[in-house]
Structure 1
Amino acid sequence: MSDSLGARLREVRTARGLSLRSVAQALGVSASLLSQVEIGRTQPSVSTLFALAAHLGVSLDDLVGQGGAAVDASDAASPPPASPRPAATTVQRSHDYPVIEMENGVRWEKLAATADGPADALLVTYQPGASSSIEGKLMRHAGVEYAYLLEGELTLQLEFDTFTLGAGDSLSFDSMRPHMFSNVSDRPAKGVWFVFGRRAHNLAAPTAPGILVEPAVPASAVDVLRAMERMD
């Protein structure tokens, strides 16, 4: 998945006539890092992946969807519509979960959900030392997060508060609050995440230094999670 993700990022970027340097400058990362991502030698962090999708004006199903067609520059303003799906019960086998591997040991597996349902469901794994942002920057995005930790230990930094969660603990918070997840233990942390809803927020408001604000259009965190639906 990592190689195909990098290849699609490069394809979309070049189709839009953007240089590595200009994209890197807009995202506040190095051009060498983006180059390594594009050739599949490293994976983006959660925050970098959100920012890339938003800056390129593309959803993640365009980047990692199965058998997707090449992106043409003329399609930049109008992403292809989702295929219609019946509103029915969905059963998804564990070996068929769409997967995105991100930098530093973060893994997302999309769980079964009906099309246009109220929540995005994920099985999330943080390997020892993994973080949602290795840059150490808190992030925020539209939606409300609910999670239940199945195993291991995970640290949540939520604004100025820090919480350590163990197996059996749960959480919920408005994702517009600056936050970051990290695993400072010596064993993997795994949990089930649900992200509900899209709400209009003004992301242009001033923020404290060190807080990464995800662009509102076109890819909030909910956009990114929903985009995985057509990977089924």
Structure 2
Amino acid sequence: MNEAAEITGLKMGEAIRARRKKLKLTLQSVADAAGISIGYVSLIERDKAIPTLTTLSNIAAALGVGIEFFVSRPKPHECVSYSAGRQQFLMGTSQVRYERLGASFAGHELSSFIMILEPGYTSEVVTHSGEEVVYILSGTLELTIDGRKMILGEGDSAHYDATRPHAWSNPSEQTIRLLWTGTIDIFEDRPKPV
């Protein structure tokens, strides 16, 4: 049985801890490699915090695996994504759900998801290369960029340089549905240049 199969059924934080311990890495070494605090890694491992896909990707890289090692990786093979058959996947608890909209093909630059953020969700502040577009389908999102908080409601959007520190939260009692599109290759399934 391979290691990814062995962690099936574990919560994401437990799977991260199991992988770290198997590699005999300290919390500090993973935190340093992922560019986050040791306390935040500890919270993630105890399933007390839900990392963004960017942070999870950094943790996965620090642990020598891809993001799909910790989350079920949807693989659309066609250019069309039908709502009835679209796979959803979770990050940690049920506070954040994703539906992958984009397809993978040679040369693709964009990743796109419908994200569902439950009441009380708060992300950490992140930065990464590329850009992001967020369009609110329903609910009210609190978006923070460079320390400035903005409220986005249904039909509102934001397009920003992702190297700027940014974070999201849902302080309301309603679920948020949003369309997220960005240039970061979350699942690293773009063919590498030769």
1:213-224 equivalences in 2 (<5 Å) = 222-223=184-185
**1:107, distance to aligned residue in structure 2 (A):** 2.5
In 1, Cα distance between the equivalents of 2:32 and 2:102? 37
Counterpart residue identity of residue 44, structure 1: I
Match of 1:150 among 124, 137, 151: 137
TM-score (norm 1): 0.62
Which runs of 5 or more structure 2 residues have no equivalent in the other structure? 1-7
Higher RCO (CA 8 Å, separation ≥ 6 residues): 1
Match of 2:24 in 1: 17
In 2, Cα distance between the equivalents of 1:25 and 1:114? 31
**1:125, distance to aligned residue in structure 2 (A):** 1.7
CA pair 29-35 structure 1, distance change in 2 beyond 3 A: same
Aligned-residue CA RMSD in angstroms?
Answer: 3.3
In 1, Cα distance between the equivalents of 2:9 and 2:115? 17
Match of 2:37 in 1: 28
In 1, Cα distance between the equivalents of 2:109 and 2:31? 34
Match of 2:62 among 55, 60, 64: 55
CA pair 65-24 structure 1, distance change in 2 beyond 3 A: same
CA pair 108-23 structure 1, distance change in 2 beyond 3 A: same
Match of 2:155 in 1: 168
In 1, Cα distance between the equivalents of 2:189 and 2:101? 10
**1:95, distance to aligned residue in structure 2 (A):** 4.6
> Which digits, 9 at most, give the CA deviation of each residue in 1:113-132, with x for residues without a partner?
23242210111122222111
Match of 1:108 in 2: 98
In 1, Cα distance between the equivalents of 2:176 and 2:163? 23
TM-score (norm 2): 0.72
CA pair 10-161 structure 1, distance change in 2 beyond 3 A: closer
Counterpart residue identity of residue 106, structure 1: V
CA pair 29-44 structure 1, distance change in 2 beyond 3 A: farther
In 1, Cα distance between the equivalents of 2:62 and 2:117? 26
Greater shift, 171-180 or 109-118, is seen at: 109-118
- Contact preservation (8 Å) 2:127, 2:164: yes
SS in 2 for 1:64: coil
Query: Percent identity among equivalent residues?
Result: 28
Match of 2:114 in 1: 123
Match of 1:226 in 2: 187
Aligned length: 177
Greater shift, 105-114 or 156-165, is seen at: 105-114
Greater shift, 10-19 or 22-31, is seen at: 22-31
